[in-house]
């Protein structure tokens, strides 16, 4: 059993949907996969039966020009 008297998600047969964070510019202050690491990580994510990667999330580098942030986001 999980904590207390409740079963864990795995014991209950639940799957957690997640978004994978991509660090677009390799910023040290941000977490996540680097763009060139993502393809290599996918096979290891497939062996987690109770985790379902549903998409990607990324925060582009700070800028005062919102249009400048869009090219980075679309290249991931």
Write the pLDDT tens digit of every residue in 1-59.
556 778 887 888 899 999 999 998 888 888 899 988 988 888 888 888 889 999 999 87
**Phi, psi at 71, each rounded to 5°:** -60, -35
The pLDDT-based confidence of 76 (bands split at 50, 70, 90) is: very low
What is the reported pTM? 0.67
The pair of structure tokens assigned to 11 is 């014991």
Helix and strand totals (H; E) in the chain: 2, 3
Q: For 63-68, what is the mean pLDDT?
A: 76
Domain boundaries, the chain: 18-74
pLDDT for residue 3 = 62
């Amino acid at each position: 059993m999980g904590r207390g008297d409740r079963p864990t998600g795995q014991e209950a047969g639940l799957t957690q949907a997640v978004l994978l964070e991509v660090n677009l510019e390799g910023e040290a202050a941000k977490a996540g996969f680097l763009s060139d690491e993502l393809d290599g990580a996918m096979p290891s994510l497939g062996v987690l039966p109770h985790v379902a990667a549903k998409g990607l999330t990324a925060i582009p580098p700070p800028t005062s020009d919102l249009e400048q942030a869009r090219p980075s986001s679309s290249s991931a």
